[in-house]
């Protein structure tokens, strides 16, 4: 019997795969548990349309991420913070939230703070640092930020 998997099933297949299984396994376990549906012509057409729509959405997200990466690469952001006199050490540290806010203020586009990772250790001194923004699975942008005294 042919079925279309609705969820990943170990040792059988992944979501949206069409696989052949024995009738009893499909009728008594996979279909009642919600892991699969029967691979009728109607369900195959629906699956084909869903995969087409999913591919379109992924392509759209990738294109937006590429456009944002083109804007972010080589971008320099300045972050002003309080620092101890004469030592160059700042009070607290600079984090991804401050970098995202600075990008929004200075360049008028938003980057999700969860996608920003500061390269190296924590930033606790004045100076120039680099951060990466992982915008999509394989699309990464590098951001340079300068920490200056207020």
């640092």: which residue's tokens? 129
Upper half-sphere CA count for residue 120 (Cβ side, 13 Å): 10
Whole-prediction pTM? 0.70
| 47 closest CA partner among 89, 85, 5 | 5
- Kindly state the DSSP code that residue 141 receives in the 8-state scheme: E
Assess whether 57 and 95 both reside in one domain: no
Q: What per-residue confidence (pLDDT) applies to 86?
A: 83
Q: What per-residue confidence (pLDDT) applies to 131?
A: 93
Assess whether 42 and 85 both reside in one domain: no
Q: Indicate the SS3 state at residue 74.
A: coil
Tokens of residue 26, six digits: 């499909």
Assess whether 122 and 52 both reside in one domain: no
Assess whether 21 and 73 both reside in one domain: no
Q: Name the residue range of residue 89's domain.
A: 68-149
- Rounded to whole angstroms, what are the CA distances from 60 to 6, 47, 50, 65, 112? 24, 20, 15, 9, 18
Assess whether 131 and 80 both reside in one domain: yes
Q: What per-residue confidence (pLDDT) applies to 35?
A: 96
Q: What is the pLDDT along the chain (150 residues), one digit of tens a residue?
A: 999 999 999 999 999 999 999 999 999 999 999 999 999 999 999 999 999 999 999 999 999 999 999 988 888 999 999 998 888 889 888 999 999 999 999 998 888 999 999 988 788 899 999 999 999 888 999 999 999 998
Q: How many domains does the chain have?
A: 2
Query: Distance between CA 73 and CA 97 in Å, rounded?
Result: 18
Q: Indicate the SS3 state at residue 42.
A: helix
Query: Please, which residues have CB within 8 angstroms of residue 32's CB and are 6 or more apart in sequence?
Result: none
């Amino acid at each position: 019997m042919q079925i279309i998997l609705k969820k990943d099933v170990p040792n059988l297949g992944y979501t949206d795969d069409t696989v052949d299984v024995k009738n009893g396994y499909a009728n008594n376990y996979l279909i009642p548990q919600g892991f699969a549906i029967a691979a009728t012509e109607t369900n195959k057409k629906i699956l084909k349309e869903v995969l087409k729509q999913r591919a379109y959405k992924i392509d759209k997200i990738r294109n937006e991420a590429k456009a944002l990466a083109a804007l972010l690469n080589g971008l320099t952001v300045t972050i002003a913070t309080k620092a101890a006199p004469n030592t160059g050490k700042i009070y607290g540290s600079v984090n991804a939230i401050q970098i995202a806010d600075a990008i929004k203020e200075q360049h008028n586009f938003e980057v999700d703070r969860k996608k920003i990772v500061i390269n190296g250790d924590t930033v606790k001194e004045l100076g120039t640092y680099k951060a990466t923004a992982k915008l999509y699975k394989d699309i990464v942008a590098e951001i340079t930020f300068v920490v200056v005294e207020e």
